Amino acid sequence: MFISLISEKSISCLSPSGSVFTVISTDPLVPGGICQSVDGGLLVTLIDLESDLYKIVSHSRRLVRHITLTGDVIHEYEYQEDGQTRLFTMPYKVTQNSNICVVNRSSDTTGELVILSPSGHIKSVYSGQNLKESLNPSDIVCDSLYNILVSDCNNKQIHLLNPDGEFLKFLLQENEVNSPYSLTLYKSTLWVGYAGGFVKVFQYTM
C-alpha cells in the first residue's frame, strides 16, 4: 500500500508487516491523492504551497504525475494541449480506469471531475446532475466495469458515472448516506467513510 505524506513531501509504502518506509520524494511539491496505475506505476496529485490553494498564479504548480515505483517520471498532466491552459485548480484525488479520473477542487466545498485520456486530452468534465447544491466531490473509485463512483458531501449522494464520465444514476442518496467522504470498493463490497469517523458497508450492484 502506498501513502502520500504531506508534511514530508514524499510517498511511502506500508508493508504487510506494518512497517512504513519512504520510496519517493516529491519535494518541493506536496502529494495528495495517489493510486496505482494500470501499468503498475503510480498516479499522484501534486501541488505547491507557495500560492493560495484556489487562486492560481503564474508560478503555481497543479498537476498529476505518472511515475514508476522508483520515482521516474513517465508523464505529467498539468496543461491542456495548447501548453498554456491549466487542467486543474487543485487536483485532490485520482484514480484510473481506461481513462485518468481526477477530482479537481475549486474551493473547500465545490469541485468537478476531470476525465483525461492517457495522453492528457480532456474527454469530459462532470459537474453534477440535477443537484440541489454544487457538486462537492471528495473521493472516487472505479468498479470492475470501469464505471466511476463519486462521493458528494454537499448533496449527500454517491454518483455513478460510466467510464467516460457520463451520469448513469445516483447509487446512494441522503436517506442511505450522510456526507460521504471516502470510498473503497473491493469486489462487491462498497465501504463509505464519513467525516465523523465512522464507516458504512454496502453490497455493491449496478
Question: 50, exposed or middle or buried, with CB in 10 Å at 0-12, 13-18, 19+?
Answer: exposed
Taking alpha carbons only, the member of 154, 139, 146, 143 closest to residue 193 is 139
Position 195 scores a pLDDT of 77
Position 174 scores a pLDDT of 67
CA 27, CA 65: separation in Å to the nearest integer? 13
Query: 97-121+128-206: which CATH architecture?
Result: 6 Propeller (2.120)
CA 7, CA 28: separation in Å to the nearest integer? 11
pTM of the model: 0.92
- pLDDT tens sequence across 17-28: 888 888 899 999
pLDDT band at 31 (very low <50, low <70, confident <90, very high): very high
> Domain residues of the chain, as ranges?
1-96, 97-121+128-206
**What percent of the chain is predicted at pLDDT more than 70?**
99
